[in-house]
Amino acid sequence: MFICAFLTACYTGMRTGEVFALTWNDIDLENRTIKINKTVYAKDKENKGRWYLGTTKTAGSYREVYICDTLFSVLYDYKKLQNKYRKEYGKNYKRYIIEEVRNKYGKLVEYKIIQSNVKRNYIEMVFTRKDGTYSGTDIIKYPFKIIHHELGINCRFYDLRGSFATVSLRNGCEIKDIAEVLGHKRIEATEKYYISSTKEDKKRVNEKIGLIITLNNKQDLIK
């Protein structure tokens, strides 16, 4: 499950909360699209379940992203595996519903994810444990402890978003298109916070400008 979530972030640039808020209704494997319209977050002191679904970070974060061939294969196989586990566990498979949460003025502000055995309007969260248990973003804690302490790599799940932006830009994608996929209204946010440069990138810039100047000087001499 962690690997599938990890690859989903790698290939879409979604925020951590957006990835783990996904339900199977959000994923259209036939048309190969993912609708991003909510995020998940925890409220540790709540009794009837600590995970909540709310709106995305900004109105501009509501978007649709496309599923590439690699991610399609991963999600397709993962869904088949999840269906297999559902049949194996039968009645013991964990199922969830959502409960509306309104403020004192009666305005709907969020949804609470609640485990329930009552057969009514189940939601199918995408990233769950083998027995159907939904753990929200907690599922990434143990794998990242291994990444940090055993592999010595200092990174976060959220950093995959920046990697997505940087790799896309370096491989010829337009910054405007990358910003839209990331859910940024302004490309400045993409450039400032999500595009990174390495020593090799900076070296390449100087090498290119040197080549350009040299070629121009040669052309001037020929003239």
Write the pLDDT tens digit of every residue in 92-142. Answer: 999 999 988 888 898 888 899 999 887 777 899 999 999 999 999 888 887
- In this prediction, residue 59 has a pLDDT band, given cuts at 50, 70 and 90, of low
- Residue 87 makes CB contacts below 8 A (sequence gap 6+) with none
Please report, for residues 61, 92, 118, the alpha-carbon distance to residue 138 in angstroms, rounded to integers and kept in the order given: 23, 21, 25
Tokens of 109: 């502000």
- Each domain of the chain, given as residue ranges in start order, spans 2-151, 170-222
Concatenated DSSP letters for 143-206?
A: HHHHHHHTS-----TTHHHHHHHHHHHHTT--HHHHHHHHT-SSHHHHHHHT----HHHHHHHH
For 2-151, CATH number out of 2.60.40, 1.10.3470, 1.10.443, 1.10.3210 equals 1.10.443
Q: Is the pLDDT of residue 76 over 70?
A: yes
Give residue 202's pLDDT.
47
Q: What is the DSSP letter of 67?
A: P
